[in-house]
Every structure is written in C-alpha cells, then in structure tokens.
Amino acid sequence: MTRLSVRELVEFTYHGENLSRGASPRDMQEGMLSHRARQAALQDGWEAEVMLSMECVYLDGQTLTLSGRMDGFLDGEFPEIEEIKLYTGETPPREPMPAHDAQAVVYAYMLCALRGIKAVTVSVCYVNRSGECLARFTRTLSALACTEVFIDLYRRYLAWQKTLAAHRTCRDATLCDLRFPYDTYRKGQREMAAAVYGAIRRGERVLCEMPTGTGKSAAAIFPALMAMGQGMTQQVFYLTARTTQRKAALECLRLFRVRPLSLWTLTLTAREKQCPRQAACDTESCPYAIGFFIRLPDAIQAILPLEDWNERVIADTAARHRVCPFEFSLTLCEIADVVIADYNYAFDPMVRIKRVFETRRDMTLLADESHNLAPRVRDMLSACLDTAALRALRLPLKKRSHPLYKRLSRAIRFILQMEEASAADIAGGELPDILAELKEALLDAIGNGAATDAHFDALMAIKLFLDSLTGECHAYLLQGGQRSKRLTALCLDASHHIRAVTKGLRGTAFFSATLSPLYDMKTLLGAEETDKAYRIPSPFPPEQFFVKRVSVDTRYGARERTAGRVAEAIRALFTAKPGKYIAFFPSFAYLNLVAGLLGDLPLALQERGMDEAARDAYLDRFLSGDGTLLGMCVLGGIFAEGVDLPGDCLSGAALVGVGLPQVNPYQEALREYSETRFGDGFHFAYRIPGMHKILQAAGRVIRSETDKGAALLIDARYEENAYARLCPSHWMMREGSLAEALEAFWQA
C-alpha cells in the first residue's frame, strides 16, 4: 500500500523558490511549541491534531492512502480548519504562503469528499514563538473549489509517479535479461553472488571475504540488480571508503550497459568538489541557490534520458540550468536506481541523506572494502570540543554581553579548568548543562541568520558530544595545556549504529578481501546471529604468488639500525626480474629513510597530501609504458587499497612492518575497551587493523588468473603465530635464501 502525507503532496509542487539550509532542530522544536500554544488558546469546540485519511486512485488501478493531521478543527455544518505556522519575520505577512494555504485547502477537500460537505472555512494562522496570532487569513471555499486545488496538486504528483513507474517497468524488463558482465564466473564469484542475492531476498546482512582482484564488485552488483528486476529491492547504494574504490563499480556498470539497459545510476561527489564557485556555502547570495526550485524541474527532465549521472554529467546539467550541483545530486538520490557514494552519506549522523535513509527501507546497501567501515563510523560518532575553535567563534561578536559570547566563554573556561576526563565525571558534572546552553545560543544565532559554517560545525560537535553521554561506548580524552585544550569524545564501538542503519533494509552486503577474523568482524559490523558470513577461497593458482618472510626488526627503535637490511631485501626483489614494484612502509619518515639507500633505482615516492590529479599521474607511471619503476608508498594510504594494477603494471610488493597503528591515547582507549569486551585488546586495537593494511597492500599484486607476482613480508613478527594465522591460507610461504627463491620462482 502506497502512503502519502498531505504535506508531501503539497511540497511536491510548492517548494518555495530558493535553497536554504533547512530547518534546524531549534526551528522544529519552536514550531512544535508554538503550535501547542496556539492550539491551547483556541476556543471551546476546537480540536487539535485531528487525523484525516482517505483512499485515492493511484497507478494501474492501485490505491494510495493520503493522510495528515489538521492543526485545528471546528466541526459544524460548515466546518473550519486552521493551519498553524511559526513566523519569525520582523513584520507580519500580508498573505499566506502558497504551500501553507494549499495544505489547508487539501484538508478541506478531504473533509468534503469524506463527509459530503458543500463548503469549508479554511484559515492560515501565523504565530510567534509564544503562539500569539500575528496574522490570520480566512476564506470559505466550496467543495468544488477545494476539489480543483486538490486535482491540480494530485495531477502533478501523479504525472511524476507515472514517469517513475514507466522507467521502473522498463528498468525491470531490461534487468530480467541481465547477464553477468564477464564471459565466465571466476571461482568464488558465483558463490558470493548467491550469498548477496540470498541476503537481499531475506532482508538480512551478509559478510563476504574474497581475495583482492577476484571481482567482488561484479559479484555484489549483479545479484543486487537481478533482485531489483524481480521487485525485491528498489534502490542500491554502493558505498566506498575512498574515491579510488569507485572505479571497479563504475567499470562493472559500464560493462552491464553493453547490452540494452535502462538504469539511472548516480555517482555522488562531495559538495566542495562540485561547487562551481569554490566558495563557502552561502544560500542567501549564491546564484545557484536563489531560484533553485524554480529551475530544478527542468534540470531533472534534462538529465533523465542520460541515465548515467556521473560527476561530469551532473556538473554540465547543473551549469546549463543554474542549479547547485550538489543539491541537484541529492535530489537525484531519491530516484536513482544505483547510487555510488561514500560511507558517510549512509552512516554519518551529521551528513547522511535523511530524505532517503529516514523515509524508506526498500533499498540495498553494498559496502565495499568493509574492513574500513567500523573505524570510519567510529570517527563519525566521535566529537571534539576545541577551546581554540570556540575562541574563533567569539571573534566576530563585538560585545562580551552577547548571549553567544557569554555561553562560549563559559564553555572555554570550564574546559580549560579540567584536569582529567572520564565519562562519569562529565555526565554527572556541569558540562552537559553548559553545552546545552551553548547549543541553544548557537541555534539562536543560526535562527537569526548570523551563522557561518563554523557555527554549524560547532553545533554538530556539541550535539554529538551530548549524544555520546547517553551510551557506554565512548572514552574521553583531554589534551593540551593551560592556554588551549581539546576535549574529545572517542567512539570505541560502532556496531550498534551500523546495526540501526542497516536494520529493516532489503539486504546489506559487507565485502572485502580482509574481513578476518570473520566472526569478530561480524560483531564489529553490527551483524546479528542469524546473519551469514562467508570466506570464499582464492581462485588464483597459489604457485603464481611468491610470498616470503624476511626476518628484520622494523620496530621504531630499530629502524635506523636495520634500514640497510630492509633496502637490501627490496633491492633483491626489484632486481630479480625487471618490472614495476611498490614497497609499502608504516610512515613517510621510514619511507624516506630507506629511499635514501636506494637512490640508484628508478624511484617514485608517494608525497603527502597528493590531490586527485597528482594521484592519477602517479598511477599512470605504473599503468603506461614497459619501463621499470620502484614505487615507495605508505601502508593504508591511497595506493595501498582500491587501485587495480593488473599484469605487468605491478610485478611485486614489499610490505615493511606489520602495519600496526601508531600508539596514541585513542588506540590505547580502544585497546582497553576491546580487552574488556573481547579479552584481547591488543589484537583488536592493533594487530587486526595492522594486518588488514598488509593484506590490502599485498592484494595489489595478483589481479587475475594469468598474473604472476611476488610479495615480501619484511618483519620478524611474521614468524609469530599471532600474525601468521592472520595471513591467508592460500599464501604459500617460500623457504631458502631470498635471491635463490626469487630466481627459482621467476624461472619456473
């Protein structure tokens, strides 16, 4: 049964004209309180929040349930309806807003249709925060007049729904003829596809660990599209941790389009990368925001036939119609069949696409490289209060008597006076009240139009910080000295949040080459006991992948002393067979130390903060030409995951160290929490994330059945059982001297 609220029906046509930041939590709270105050002041006989519901003819003989609540209702021969709206302008309005008037008239139509009434009096009442009436616009309408207004609104809504239904009919027909995008399945792909399809059919979560280069993207997308064509799901979100990881999904979708396929696919790009002005977002002055909703329908109609809504298509269409490209793409998120986006658009409570994830559940999530998801979501749920940032918010405020200035000063003083931070002390002390008052002052500033992006960032940080006090999975870290301090709420467990986001969806698939230990990753990703988990063997011949341990102490204190031995091992790997190689290091400092000993080789060093153009140029050195090259990169970085270097583009990799995260207060808090929960804090806080980096970097080497390559594990700790059992079972560890083993491998 399709359901539609009166407000949704009206707002489909009446958006207003301009983009705005949207209603803040304070606006919504004050709107609710002003409604209640006005409703309490209505005279005897008036009723508040009266529900109306009726069936309307929908598509293909179906029915639609239209429903809503009248703010005020006075029954009688000619009933009266009052629509109440909060108004914060300086002077009362001279006429009702079209959307507000239309909402009241639709309720009047519903009364006439349900009761056979001939006329209804409708009023739109604008009130202040206390519920006092500032302006009231009243008129009596006949049933015919109300019907005409409703028919015009419903006709527009129905026309759009017919467009969507026609597309989905065509989409489903083409999906029923969908074929796997490659001539044959690789070993394991069919099993993974079946697992993903089963999760969608049952509406469950599934974890799939499958080696890198084995076609996980195709094995996830294909069953999701098949399920869509069979009506099991209506939308697929393909989520990634990095922009580089989108390429596999985009290539897979490109191959699907070789055959006739009607599929709206959207690649969602961050606001700052799309903004044509490259300036701070200011909806009150931006020409792409002013008049946005007037021009939006034409922009949508122009892009629908193009079907593949990538970054360039979005930018070009938005430029032609002068609409904000980011907000345009968010609108398209509501109707796209497949959306490729970052994790945060689904999981970050501050930036998630609420219009999608808070209104519908008929979608499927495919989370690529899911070993990154839990730490990413932990970061999303963490919050920081920085006295330097709070001071910066005070600077534009000229008077110390300003309410926001005073609230900021109180928060700054309190944090500076803190000597330690514990959950019990913070929750039971003054800080929650101080932050609640500061939040109110920030909401006032935002409501008065005097806010910047920094005000919104501070508001979100405060909200997250206050939310952290209601659970038991945060630690609190206080850093800094007498003049400046940072108080951080560190999320240590994201499983509850991930479970809540994915609950009730039409299937969620977490997949990666590194989801070991599988049972523990299932727990960290919020899966339940009934959810399935699969480890799919490598389809590649193990004898084609040379893996050898090189026993060297690479711990921080030994690096200067053993750098020569590390360089010797890398040189042996590089000279055994001319080609292209990458050596991965725990840090840039270590990378540069060893690079200084290999200066006679053709080196390509990763640099800090490389932009997208620089990253592409770096990868092109491996993808083009037949020369030799030795890349020097960092573990866990942009070149260690999600990049495809097939065949001779990469002949081998040297993995220096075991990838352990840096010891710091956050990792130590995570270790203590994991010790309590799992019994082995070091394993969960350090060893597992470290080995995930190693396995991802090693996975760059073998990308197909015909690839042949070598990997060196340069660290003495690989001899220990704790690390050895985290290595894949298909790795055949070579013995003997390094040079002789490499020579024998390449000559075989």
If we measure between CA atoms, which residue out of 434, 409, 426 comes closest to residue 488? 426
Which secondary-structure segment (H or E) carries 50?
A: strand 46-57
What is the Cα Rg of the chain in Å? 30
For residues 19 and 225, the model is more confident at 225
Residue whose tokens read 């704790």: 722
Residue whose tokens read 């985290």: 726
Mean pLDDT of 508-528: 93
User: How many C-beta neighbours within 10 Å does residue 504 have?
Assistant: 9
Instruction: Name the most confidently modeled range: 86-100, 148-162, 260-274.
Output: 148-162
Mean pLDDT of 224-241: 96
Which secondary-structure segment (H or E) carries 83?
A: strand 80-86
Residue 220, pLDDT score = 96
Angle between helices 6-13 and 143-176 (to 10 degrees): 80
Confidence of residue 420 (pLDDT cuts 50, 70, 90): confident
- For the ranges 544-548, 550-554, 594-598, 705-709, the lowest mean pLDDT is seen at 705-709
- For the ranges 142-156, 389-403, 557-571, the lowest mean pLDDT is seen at 389-403
Confidence of residue 28 (pLDDT cuts 50, 70, 90): low
User: How many C-beta neighbours within 10 Å does residue 588 have?
Assistant: 17
If we measure between CA atoms, which residue out of 290, 286, 291, 336 comes closest to residue 313? 336
If we measure between CA atoms, which residue out of 434, 430, 439 comes closest to residue 464? 439
For residues 458 and 581, the model is more confident at 581
Asked whether residue 138 carries a pLDDT value surpassing 80, the answer given is yes
Mean pLDDT of 354-377: 93
- Spell out the residues 6+ positions from residue 704 whose beta carbon is closer than 8 angstroms to its own: 213, 540, 646, 647
Confidence of residue 495 (pLDDT cuts 50, 70, 90): very high
If we measure between CA atoms, which residue out of 214, 218, 498, 193 comes closest to residue 370? 498
Strand order in the sheet with 383-386: 383-386, 485-491, 474-480
Residue 155, pLDDT score = 96
Percent of the chain with pLDDT over 90: 70
Asked whether residue 383 carries a pLDDT value surpassing 80, the answer given is yes
- For the ranges 49-63, 157-171, 239-253, 297-311, the lowest mean pLDDT is seen at 239-253
pLDDT by residue (tens digit) across 609-627?
898 899 999 999 999 878 8
d(CA 352, CA 330): 11
Residue 22, pLDDT score = 56
User: In the 8-state DSSP scheme, what is residue 488?
Assistant: E
pLDDT by residue (tens digit) across 70-114?
999 999 888 999 999 998 888 889 999 999 999 999 999 999 999
Residue 26, pLDDT score = 60
Mean pLDDT of 58-76: 93
Mean pLDDT of 172-192: 90
Residue 738, pLDDT score = 96
- For the ranges 16-20, 22-26, 293-297, 702-706, the lowest mean pLDDT is seen at 22-26
Phi then psi dihedrals of residue 319, to 5 deg: -65, -40
Residue 380 corresponds to which amino acid? Answer: M
Confidence of residue 304 (pLDDT cuts 50, 70, 90): very high
pLDDT by residue (tens digit) across 639-690?
988 788 888 999 999 999 999 999 999 999 999 999 998 888 999 999 999 9
Residues 719/553, Cβ–Cβ less than 8 Å: no
Residue 400, pLDDT score = 85
Residue 359, pLDDT score = 84
Residue 255, pLDDT score = 92
Residues 538/205, Cβ–Cβ less than 8 Å: no
Residue whose tokens read 């990792």: 667
- Spell out the residues 6+ positions from residue 487 whose beta carbon is closer than 8 angstroms to its own: 384, 385, 415, 418, 421, 476, 477, 478
Asked whether residue 537 carries a pLDDT value surpassing 90, the answer given is no
Residue 647, pLDDT score = 85
Asked whether residue 511 carries a pLDDT value surpassing 80, the answer given is yes
| Average pLDDT of the chain, as a whole number | 91
Residue 433 corresponds to which amino acid? Answer: D
Quick one: tokens of 539? 């389809």
Residue 211, pLDDT score = 84
Can the peptide bond before residue 276 be classed as cis, meaning omega within 30 degrees of 0?
A: no
Residue 2, pLDDT score = 85
Angle at 345 between CA 342 and CA 347, to 5 degrees: 100
Mean pLDDT of 691-712: 90
| Torsion from C-alpha of 208, 213, 219, 220, nearest 10 degrees | 60
Name the 3-class secondary structure at 208. strand
Residue 27, pLDDT score = 64
Residue 25, pLDDT score = 56
Residue 130, pLDDT score = 87
Confidence of residue 24 (pLDDT cuts 50, 70, 90): low
Phi then psi dihedrals of residue 564, to 5 deg: -65, -40
Q: Can you name the residues that pair with 604 across neighbouring β-strands?
A: 631
If we measure between CA atoms, which residue out of 421, 403, 424 comes closest to residue 485? 421
If we measure between CA atoms, which residue out of 439, 453, 445 comes closest to residue 410? 439
d(CA 445, CA 393): 11
Residue 644, pLDDT score = 83
Asked whether residue 523 carries a pLDDT value surpassing 80, the answer given is yes
Mean pLDDT of 177-203: 92
Quick one: tokens of 718? 């690989």
Mean pLDDT of 737-747: 94
Residue 450, pLDDT score = 66
If we measure between CA atoms, which residue out of 277, 213, 281, 279 comes closest to residue 248? 213
DSSP string for 577-625: S-SEEEEEESSHHHHHHHHTT-TTS-EEE--TT--HHHHHHHHHHHHS-
Name the 3-class secondary structure at 534. strand
